[in-house]
């Protein structure tokens, strides 16, 4: 039986045919490891070998996945044009937005999720490879029993690769999940027998990295969350800081979610700007689980929005994530001082509050560099997230 290739010759030899066709494969990882890129390469390699494919994404917009694959020079557009690759959007409906993909679903509705997969699979012919990114989100919304039922259904006619990030789930759930798959490929931060290393450990500190082409080794921060109340300036900040950005304009300005990528000073990272409205706080809680740092943006001229900012911050502080506060719109005459903002927000002295004018790109690089330093300083933070 022909095995699924990863597209990485040395790794294929290491796996020695373990990734066989028509099997349920679990990519099991610690937080902070860029497993989606690995799964995307498996899918792309399968497409090049003649398979059809589905990429089902539940934790970000599909266009972010497309842009990410383009950065690795994986041309998926030709396979979409040939009708061999479909994206299944399990994100937009959660954001109360109209999905642009042909196949979409609300991940809180099991029958709708199942029906979307069935319809997408029926659209394709030949051997199929399905990537589900990621099932930890689905488990949170549907429970493990429904998710395992879904995976079994998909596997009845295709190979399925599921990404699972272990956010300290109960041991019973994790063990049951592992036993439900034909093969488990583990991605760990610390152990001798690993398939992929994503951390450098220097003097006890965990430093994430990636090898970029071109560019060589960069310290890699998979996700930084840019959050704050409505109209604080999040979208502007993401666009000003990013070398490349995806504007999810179809959400509309009131439900904007922006994604950007930046390489700066030996660092590379992804930025995610979140909606500011209270009804989308569950999205904030989901995204907060797999970020390494937070930029909290406040409008220096609107102290009445600070209680909302404090509430949003409380939803991410519980994960022990380093953060900085960006006091935006400091060019306006009614702007409060940094000390006044710190006092009203109740931010501890050790947390940086940085004055900024987002429209003029003032203070933004300082905020990002300061956050990078906090992330690297928090070696303990890295250990917690990789345990």
Residues 144 and 243 in one domain: no
Residues 183 and 218 in one domain: no
- 155, 187, 219: which is the final residue of a domain? 187
Would 210 be classed as within a structural domain? yes
Cβ atoms of residues 333 and 341 within 8 Å: no
Q: Which domain holds residue 15?
A: 9-187
Would 41 be classed as within a structural domain? yes
Would 1 be classed as within a structural domain? no
pLDDT digits (tens, 9 = 90+) for 34-60: 788 888 888 998 898 899 999 999 988
Query: Which pLDDT does position 23 carry in this prediction?
Result: 78
Residues 208 and 313 in one domain: yes
pLDDT digits (tens, 9 = 90+) for 191-243: 333 333 454 444 444 555 554 544 444 556 668 889 899 889 998 999 999 88
Residue 269: CB atoms within 10 Å: 26
What's the full length of the chain, in residues?
Answer: 387
Domain CATH code at residue 114: 3.40.50.300
Residues 6+ apart with CB under 8 A from 365: 241, 264
Residues 97 and 214 in one domain: no
Residue 179: CB atoms within 10 Å: 8
Return the residue matching tokens 């935006």: 328
Residues 115 and 166 in one domain: yes
Q: pLDDT band at 94, cuts 50/70/90?
A: confident
pLDDT digits (tens, 9 = 90+) for 240-257: 998 876 655 444 444 557
Residues 121 and 234 in one domain: no
Residues 166 and 218 in one domain: no
Would 85 be classed as within a structural domain? yes
Residues 177 and 220 in one domain: no
Question: What's the chain's Rg over C-alpha atoms?
Answer: 21
Instruction: State the total domains in the chain.
Output: 2
Residues 25 and 174 in one domain: yes
Determine the Cα–Cα distance for residues 294 and 331; give it in Å rounded to an integer.
Answer: 23
Residues 233 and 262 in one domain: yes
Would 3 be classed as within a structural domain? no
């Amino acid at each position: 039986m022909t095995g699924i290739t990863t597209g990485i010759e040395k790794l294929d030899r290491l796996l020695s045919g373990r990734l066989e066709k028509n099997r349920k494969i679990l990519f099991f990882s610690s937080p902070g490891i860029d497993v989606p890129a690995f799964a995307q390469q498996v899918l792309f390699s399968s497409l090049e070998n003649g398979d059809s494919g589905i990429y089902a994404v539940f934790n970000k917009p599909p266009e972010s996945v497309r842009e990410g694959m383009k950065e690795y020079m994986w041309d998926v557009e030709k396979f979409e044009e040939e009708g061999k690759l479909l994206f299944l959007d399990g994100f937009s409906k959660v954001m109360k937005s109209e999905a642009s993909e042909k196949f979409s679903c609300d991940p809180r509705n099991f029958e709708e999720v199942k029906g979307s997969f069935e319809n997408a699979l029926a659209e394709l012919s030949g051997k199929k490879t399905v990537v589900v990114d990621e099932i930890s989100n689905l488990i949170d919304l549907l429970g493990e029993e429904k998710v395992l039922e879904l995976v079994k259904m998909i596997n009845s006619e295709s190979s399925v690769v599921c990404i699972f990030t272990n956010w300290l789930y109960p041991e019973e759930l994790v063990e049951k999940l592992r036993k439900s798959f034909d093969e488990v490929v583990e991605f760990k931060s610390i152990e001798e027998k690993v398939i992929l290393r994503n951390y450098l450990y220097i003097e006890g500190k965990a430093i994430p990295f990636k090898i970029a082409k071109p560019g060589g080794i960069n310290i890699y921060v998979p996700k930084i969350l840019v959050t704050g109340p409505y109209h604080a300036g999040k979208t502007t900040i993401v666009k000003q800081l990013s070398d490349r950005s995806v504007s999810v304009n179809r959400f509309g300005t009131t439900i904007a979610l922006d994604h950007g990528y930046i390489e700066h000073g030996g660092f590379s990272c992804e930025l995610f700007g979140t909606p500011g409205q209270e009804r989308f706080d569950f999205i904030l809680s989901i995204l907060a689980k797999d970020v390494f740092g937070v930029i909290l943006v406040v409008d220096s001229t609107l102290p009445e929005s600070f209680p909302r900012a404090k509430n949003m911050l409380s939803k991410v502080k519980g994960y022990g994530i380093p953060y900085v506060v960006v006091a935006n719109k400091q060019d306006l005459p009614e702007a409060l001082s940094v000390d006044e903002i710190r006092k009203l927000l109740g931010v501890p002295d050790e947390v940086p509050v940085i004055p900024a004018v987002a429209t003029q790109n003032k203070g933004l690089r300082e905020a990002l560099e300061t956050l990078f330093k906090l992330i690297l300083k928090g070696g303990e933070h890295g250990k917690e997230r990789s345990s």
